[in-house]
Amino acid sequence: MPEEIVSLQAVEKIYQTGDTSITALASTDLSLSSNQLTLIMGPSGSGKTTLLSIVGCVIYPTQGKVFYKGSEVTGLSEDKLAEIRLREIGFVFQQFNLIEPLTALENVMQPLLLQGISKQDAKDRALKALEEVGLSDRINNLPKKLSGGQKQRVAIARALVTNPSMMLCDEPTASLDAKSAGIIMEELKSLASQGKAVIIVTHDLRLRKYADRIIYVEEGKVSNSIQHEEDYK
């Protein structure tokens, strides 16, 4: 059964630069649940990354409250938020962000080592995560010896190795060909069906077929309706 992972109550984000203030996100109420793959779509500059960053406890809203699994996180210190990110949230980015001098296995072990888990346990769990994304035969490869799709699968393994409740993905398929993008989306869809909340910011209209839910952001305003779908064809 889907459970609420994150909820936003009257959340607003205003960026102040000099005399100008930009409302990146207008007052927003939103609830994101486990077992769901949610796409966040909308034009460039509309506020998608801002929304993802607030959901991911990366930035604080200017107004409103954010709850993670029912507890308010808006008033927490930077350190506490970092701890929530490390333990509860997996991040996947367009450019993979792998550490180049480390092998696939070592990259996936990193979040566990940061959590203070022993090297042997970290290795066992990283091997499992790499197996889950179908990369058991590439564990000793350096990132430069992997294709784009394989790099993104290592990045997904690194994001899921801590068993997070939520995976946040910023344009995860934008650097990939159609076939690799399909493999990545199948992987993310499968993680959602296993119980994670998977949230994906994308411009890629082909991804809509994988979505349980599509959220549109336009000029900082969030709407849940998929009636706008035609506008984005």
Ligand X SMILES: Nc1ncnc2c1ncn2[C@@H]1O[C@H](COP(=O)(O)OP(=O)(O)OP(=O)(O)O)[C@@H](O)[C@H]1O
Separation between Cα atoms, residue 78 and residue 60, nearest integer Å: 9
Backbone angles phi, psi at 22, to 5 degrees: -115, 125
Residues 190-219 binding ligand X (CB under 6 A) are none
Rounded to the nearest whole angstrom, what is the least distance from the CB of residue 47 to ligand X in the complex? 4
Name the one range near ligand X by CB under 6 A: 16-24, 89-97, 113-121, 188-196: 16-24
Among 15, 31, 177, 232, binds ligand X (CB under 6 A): 15
- Expressed in angstroms, the distance from the first to the final Cα of the chain is 32
Token readout for 221 is 């305003």
Among 22, 26, 102, 113, binds ligand X (CB under 6 A): 22
Rounded to the nearest whole angstrom, what is the least distance from the CB of residue 174 to ligand X in the complex? 10
Identity of the amino acid at 10: A
Q: Report how many residues bind ligand X under the rule CB under 6 A.
A: 12
CB-based burial, 166-189: b 16+ in 10 Å, e otherwise: bbbbbbbbebbeeebbbbbbebbb
Those residues with Cβ within 8 angstroms of residue 124's Cβ, 6 or more apart along the chain or in another chain? none
Is 24 one of the binding residues for ligand X (CB under 6 A)? Answer: yes
Rounded to the nearest whole angstrom, what is the least distance from the CB of residue 200 to ligand X in the complex? 12
Cβ closer to ligand X: 133 or 222?
222
- Contact characters 27-56, ligand X, x per CB under 6 A: ---------------x-xxxxxxx------
In Å, how far are 8, 41, 44, 92 from 171, measured between CA atoms? 22, 10, 12, 8
Interface residue list for ligand X (CB under 6 A): 15, 17, 22, 24, 42, 44-50
